[in-house]
Chain A
Amino acid sequence: MTLVARPTDSAPTTRTGSTLLDAVLRFRALGLLIALVAMVAATAAVNSRFVSQQSIRDILLGAAITILLAVGMTVVVLTRGIDLSVGSVLGLSAYVTADFLQVNPGTPVPVAMLLGLAIGAGCGLVNGAVIHFGKVPALVATLGTLYVFRGIVYFVAGGSRINASDMPRGFLDFGTDRVLGIPYLIIVSLVVVVLAGVFLSRYRAGRDMYALGSSPEAAKLAGIPAGRRLLTAYVLCGALAGLGGVLHAARFGTVDASAGSGMELNVVAAVVVGGVAIFGGSGTVFGAALGALLLTVISNALPVLSVDQFWQQAIVGALILGAIGLDRFVGLRVSASLRRKDSHVD
């Protein structure tokens, strides 16, 4: 028997996959933060008013609603789904809530928010039911309900609009008031981000969302209640869009039937830029929220930098492609290094 192995000095090193993955995810969040800071710094250099308190508050207010919707969209996208109807749900909720407040001016704000949540949840339930029971692909189903819900808004509104003067003072104040200098709207979306983050990372039902998106086949074998979880995801997404509608009404004061049109694409873009895998299974609401913030900052900054409309669109597009490309690249690197690294500890 011939021994050909030569003794070597260093033993194979072991790295744990988790720290590696954490590093990547942190890197991802870090990348977004860097882009954010760079964008703000560059714009501020051109026009220092961009970083005035008022302007920052405006940007955050603008981002608040997108963030809310991006959180709901994240939950759906994690399960390998998508919800294109969020803009219409927002419009429906905004109009119905505003209309309700116009008739019942004494309604407290939390009740208005509950009303919006309920309307959104109802729409989400319709989406979830069509997708799960009707076995319709999410893209098609929610593309359909995008038009259906919008149609309902037009039917309800019948061409009229609700103005700030028609709505109770207290509700409009809610859209502008702040505690400790922070507007209520921003507090609402931050609370939602944190709650959703905890739900997704620390609760069984939340982990099931990742599992469903990561491998539907394995989820079936593991006995994960796919139907219930999918319905939950779409109801949650709808409810948050509904809540977004209430915030929209409070912030802008005027609501017509076209409120929130086209918003779904912004939201999907924010989620993708925020590092949520479009085929499900990975990503966080914090990333999605950062993505929403970055897109809002960009759309506010580019006019200040006097970049014309066309280029604004192109830049957002490039950002999305860049994010997807980065995901792909990082994904390949991670899986390569996971394969390379020794999976056995000790």
Chain B
Amino acid sequence: MSAMGSAPEPPQLRPVVSLDGVTKAFGSVVALRDARLELFPGEAHALVGENGAGKSTLIKILAGVHRPDTGIVTVNGETVEFTNTAAAKDAGIAVIYQEPTLFPDLSVAENIFVGRQPRARLGLIDRAVMNREAAALFARLGVPLDPERPAKGLSIADQQIVEIAKAISVDATVLIMDEPTAALSGVEVERLFAVVRGLRDAGAAVLFISHRFDEVEALCQRVTVMRDGAHVSTDLMAEMTIDQIVRRMVGRELGALFPKQDVVPGAVVLEVEALSRAGLFRDVSFQVRAGEIVALAGLVGSGRSEVVQAVFGIDPRDAGTVRVAGRTLPAGNSKAAMRAGVALVPEDRRQQGLILDLSIMRNATLVRRNRLSRFGFLTGGAERREAAEWTRRLQTRYGRLTDPAGTLSGGNQQKVALAKWLATDPKVLIVDEPTRGIDVGTKAEVHRLMSQLAADGVAIVMVSSELPEVLGMADRVLVIREGRLAGELSRAEATEESVMFLATGRGAAA
């Protein structure tokens, strides 16, 4: 395994996994037309591509979720045809899927070990051992989740942690991670990478999908680029620049990441005073002016999302007041917040953001159906026009507007969730991980849109785990640590170090 880093395809090694000429269509949507991939033991391999390029479909074929229409999949040199996920697991392939899919009624520990719970005498499940092993996994990841709590109600980041724990708990020879870090902040990502490097050095092959290029550079030796369901190139990471990778992904030049335009802030629109909720956050106060973008930064579990959910009123609050344009909002009443002109794009697009069985069109226009209807009837034309306009602006890839939202790729689902709220002309826009899973090209477009909204006088609150996004977009950064406001940084003061310092309460991000 030492050969990695010297030549892209070391001749003395046989790939553990290979795909060749794989195609896959869902009805009329062709997800893969010519996918190719080789994974060698001991390498960390990046798979990048735009939203809808077919990355998740490819790994689902490796995982036995989908069967390829044509093409060859081999494991250890032998052609395989996985008919279910159990077969892929038996072949040593562990997968972290893009969308956490947990059993809400089962405990966190059981979610990790389902189907292979540790057993004691007579085949009885040994819960004590199971909980201990789960706790040990969480300790390795540095996120001390309670193994005995049910998975119901976990934040999206914690759900991702559980999925990661599940994958690293098996001694896999191939570890596949589909955007595992999309909701994690720097500290958890570092922990994850330390664990993954350990597995890789022990000889596992790692496939890593991400839209965050700094992470790709930090972890991977080789990179495969996909575009429109086809293989574009595979190279050594060291020989590639990010610009080159991006160019191959999108097939055209891209401008730099979009920084926020300077806007002279107007009157205070959103005032939050001494907001508290037992066990989650306390005494959080801040103001947002028209035209301002205020970012809430902090570690996973620090309470950022909980704060904005209480502000919007989908969660109650124990104490504190929220005022929009001078008028106090009732606690725990999101309808009133919406009427007052507040919009929230939630972090969990699948549970809160979208109705997966409804069509893309209906989802995109859901919040505004009153405005689009005549005499109480939705007029298909208006709805379709609106949806088409927004999906075009956010470069959403789909088959037909009437397809269920659940068939979209992860990033494209996020775009529909964004469209749904961006189009409501809010006074206060709260976005929670707005670009989670969105590719570079569209990320710039989302940032441009947010900047445009701010210039039009919208007050924007943004929760984000991605530091470049925070630093590029925010006029002010509020850092939350353990449920409390640890500090406020102006645009000039905010740097990677100063934010991490406040978020962790110590110097370097460990």
Contacts and interface: CB of A to CB of B under 8 A. Distances in A.
Q: Do A and B bind each other?
A: yes
A227 to B, nearest CB: 10
B483 interface: yes
A16 B149 contact: yes
B91 to A, nearest CB: 11
Contact of B101 (A202, A218, A282, A334): A218
Of all A-B residue pairs in the complex, the 4 with the closest CB atoms, nearest first, are A17-B149, A338-B153, A223-B86, A18-B148
B13 interface: no
Nearest to A2: B488
Interface string B134-147: 00000000011110
B106 interface: yes
B488 A4 contact: yes
Contacts of A277: 105
Contacts of A179: none
Interface string A310-346: 0000000000000000000000001110111111111
B326 interface: no
Contact of B158 (A221, A334, A340, A343): A343
A111 interface: no
A16 B101 contact: no
Contacts of B484: 5, 8
Contacts of B498: 1
Contacts of B86: 223-225
Contacts of A208: 114-115
B15 interface: no
Interface stretch (B67-75, B280-288, B444-452): B280-288
B166 to A, nearest CB: 9
Contact of A203 (B64, B89, B101, B123): B123
A17 B84 CA distance: 33
B152 A12 contact: no
A17 B146 contact: yes
A169 interface: no
A40 interface: no
22 contacts: A5-B487, A14-B279, A16-B148, A17-B150, A202-B125, A203-B123, A203-B125, A207-B110, A208-B114, A208-B115, A211-B106, A214-B104, A221-B63, A221-B85, A221-B97, A223-B64, A223-B85, A282-B105, A338-B154, A339-B315, A344-B143, A345-B144
A15 interface: yes
A3 interface: yes
Contact of B488 (A1, A213, A341): A1
A343 B155 CA distance: 9
A215 interface: yes
A135 interface: no
Contacts of B124: 198, 202-203
Interface residues of B, number: 63
A123 to B, nearest CB: 28
A225 to B, nearest CB: 7
Contacts of B64: 223
Interface in A199-232: 202-204, 207-208, 210-211, 213-215, 217-225
A39 to B, nearest CB: 30
Given A13-B279, A207-B114, A344-B144, 16 more contacts: A3-B487, A12-B278, A12-B483, A17-B150, A18-B148, A21-B150, A204-B125, A207-B125, A210-B106, A211-B106, A214-B105, A218-B102, A218-B103, A221-B85, A222-B114, A338-B153
Nearest to A8: B282
Nearest to B103: A214
A16 B146 contact: yes
A93 B229 CA distance: 57
Contacts of B65: 220-221
A342 B279 contact: yes
A274 interface: no
A13 B301 CA distance: 14
A198 B125 CA distance: 10
B489 interface: yes
A219 to B, nearest CB: 8
Interface of A: 1-6, 8, 11-18, 20-21, 198, 202-204, 207-208, 210-211, 213-215, 217-225, 277, 281-282, 334-336, 338-346
Contacts of B105: 210, 213-214, 277, 281-282
B456 interface: no
B152 A334 contact: yes
Given A202-B125, A204-B115, A221-B97, A343 B106 contact: no
A221 B97 CA distance: 9
B301 A224 contact: no
B347 to A, nearest CB: 12
A17 B146 CA distance: 8
Interface in B106-125: 106-107, 110, 114-117, 119, 123-125
Interface string B271-295: 0000001111111011000000000
Interface in B464-485: 482-485
B493 interface: yes
Contacts of A218: 101-103
B85 A204 contact: no
B356 to A, nearest CB: 10
Given A203-B123, A210-B106, A223-B89, A343 B115 contact: no
Given A215-B101, A223-B89, A343-B158, A8 B148 contact: no
A281 B315 contact: no
B280 A342 contact: yes
Interface string B143-185: 1111011101111001000000000000000000000000000
B486 interface: yes
Contacts of A345: 144-146
A6 B283 contact: yes
Interface in B81-102: 84-89, 95, 97, 101-102
Contact of B114 (A5, A202, A211): A211
Contacts of B488: 1-4
A3 to B, nearest CB: 5
Contacts of B280: 12, 340-342
Given A16-B148, A17-B149, A223-B86, A340 B487 contact: no
B84 A223 contact: yes
Contact of B146 (A12, A18, A222, A336): A18
A276 B498 CA distance: 51
Given A5-B484, A220-B65, A343-B154, A214 B106 contact: yes
Contacts of A219: 103
Contact of A340 (B148, B277, B285): B277
A222 B115 contact: yes
B502 to A, nearest CB: 8
B483 A335 contact: no
Contacts of A198: 124
A213 B114 CA distance: 13
Nearest to A227: B84
B106 A340 contact: no
Contacts of A5: 283, 484-487
B485 A4 contact: yes
A4 B152 CA distance: 34
Nearest to A341: B279
B117 A207 contact: yes
A14 B487 CA distance: 24
